[in-house]
Structure 1
Amino acid sequence: MADNPDASTPAQHHKGHRQRLRERFRKSGEDSLADYELLEFLLFAALPRRDTKPIAKAMLQRFGSFSAVLAAPRERLREISGLSDVSIDTIKAVHAAIARYHRAELSDRQLLDSWSKVIAYLQASMELSPVEQFRILFLDRKNGLIADEVQQTGTVDHTPVYPREVIRRALEHSATALILVHNHPSGDPTPSRADIQMTKKIVEIAKPLGIEVHDHIIIGLRDNVSLRALQLI
């Protein structure tokens, strides 16, 4: 039987699909692409000869959402068939870029006057972390950001925090105020008794030194809790 001259090869179909996706993105923007299509798009350069659609769909099925894919640990991403180290680098670079963008939005700002930007940055950085992290934002007298440090990283449900170490770092930065932050990988941001006690201990040590604890924020999955708003500090 003669070959059909009109039949497209898999390589031609693959190339055509990528081109159509690019054209739609250029003409209509990112909102014209479904989550799996945007993930496909991210993988084009890293996987030039692979069909990225099944890989993108597998990632969404495994992790549940676009943001969870970007935040997934490298070792979990390696479980997805077809993902190379280069493609994982691409995914993690996009996640880092989002966090850095939000952090840049805080530069040269009074953080207490930019609360929505503070929360956006913290959620981008922490809400999908598989383990607890304890973070401190060190502020100057005008509530400008001096430094942002992850002080401790723990397990899925615990992070050891040492109040005197927190204050020592504040003094080293010449900070006059702090915002304490940690995440709950379970997704529920409700503060535990230990969270409340630890916060009160830091406030107790900081106050005589002229250092104010503005808040302790707990980041959950798509939600957060302020101990200040709950009148717990």
Structure 2
Amino acid sequence: MPTDNAERLQQPGFAEAPHYHGHRERLRERFREAGSDALSDYELLELVLFRALPRRDVKPIAKELIARFGSFAEAVHAPAERLREVSGVGDAAIIEIGLIAAAAARVTKGQVKQRTVLSSWSAVIDYCRTTMAFADKEQFRILFLDKRNQLIADELQQVGTVDHTPVYPREIVKRGLELSATAVIMVHNHPSGDPTPSQADIQMTKSIVAIAEPLGIAVHDHIIVGKNGHASLKGLRLI
């Protein structure tokens, strides 16, 4: 009969637990005890990957994802085809990673819907950045508001290329009238990361204002988001 654990593990039918099992428990314990602030970006990503890859050491994969994309936020918002380029990342991992981005968007959207949009402006900015700042193509989103400035609808109008999205002012106003909206907030992202508005952004916004306001639809703002922050055309006095 084996006299200690070392002898026991050498017997047929017993296998030593993989080295990363203890690491997983220690990481979970740190998260339970101290929260996410106690973990680096790659460690937080490890926790995300544990369920998707239960029989694999995920630390090298998490480190590679952070090295490639730059941060936790950028990694969880990365397109599936780019995530798949990282060795060890398959469908299960992509779903787990995508769930984090989806959950963050759902939470921030809920915070916007709880109060009037203009009284929860920081929540609006958080939502816009969460949903769009890390996208690799330009997206143009409209928040349609009622007369109490509460959200009626949040619609992604167009998806373009890395530096251009086709926007049709009359279609935006038409949709606003269909929804009986009395105001809109326009949002789009700059995949370059720099949210500084271009001349094209300014001209397009002024065109929408010129068509919308005579029909009773106010343009509260046009927000541009990027990895490096956000810009408000209203705040910059460009509209």
Partner of 2:128: 122
Distance (whole Å) between structure 1 residues aligned to residue 213 and residue 141 of structure 2: 19
Q: Which string of whole-angstrom CA distances, capped at 9 and with x for unpartnered residues, describes residues 183-203 of structure 1? A: 111111111111111111111
Could you tell me which of 158, 181, 186 is aligned with 1:175? 181
Unmatched runs of 5 consecutive residues or more in structure 1: none
Q: Is the 8 A contact 2:195 2:228 kept in 1?
A: no
Give, in angstroms, the shift of residue 179 of structure 1. Answer: 0.3
Query: Could you tell me which of 158, 168, 179 is aligned with 1:162?
Result: 168
2:99 to 93, 116, 119: 93
Deviations 1:69-111 (A, max 9, x none): 0110000000010012011100001101001100000113111
Task: Identify the match of residue 114 of structure 2 among 108, 131, 139.
Answer: 108
**SS at the partner of 2:86?**
coil
DSSP-derived class of the 2:6 partner: coil
Residue 38 of structure 1 aligns to a residue whose secondary structure is: helix
1:220 aligned partner: 226
Which letter maps to 1:70? V
Q: Distance in 1 between matches of 2:204 and 2:29?
A: 53
Q: RMSD value over aligned CA atoms?
A: 1.6
Q: Give 3-state SS (helix, strand or coil) of 1:11's partner.
A: coil
> Shift of residue 208 of structure 1?
1.1
Instruction: Report if aligned partners of 1:108, 1:145 keep a CA contact under 8 Å in 2.
Output: no
Cα deviation digits, residues 162-192 of structure 1 (max 9, x gap): 0000001101110000001111111111111
For 2:66, give the aligned amino acid. L
User: CA shift at 1:221, angstroms?
Assistant: 1.6
* Counterpart residue number, 1:46: 52
The separation in 1 between residues aligned to 2:204 and 2:33, in whole angstroms, is: 52
Aligned-partner SS, 2:154: strand
Aligned with 1:204: secondary structure?
A: helix
- Spell out the pairing of 1:28-47 with structure 2 (5 A cutoff): 28-47=34-53
Equivalent pairs, count: 230
Q: Using the alignment, how far apart are the partners of 1:220 and 1:39 within structure 2?
A: 22
Residue 10 of structure 1 deviates from its aligned partner by 6.7
Q: 1:214, CA displacement in angstroms?
A: 0.5
1:59 aligned residue: 65
Residue equivalent to 1:138:
144
Where does structure 2 lack aligned partners over 5 or more consecutive residues?
none
Structure 1 stretches of 4+ with a deviation exceeding 4 A read 6-10
Contact 2:136 2:162 in 1 (8 A): yes
Is 2:95 aligned against 1:68?
A: no
Measure how far apart 1:222 and its partner are.
3.0
Partner secondary structure for residue 32 of structure 2: helix
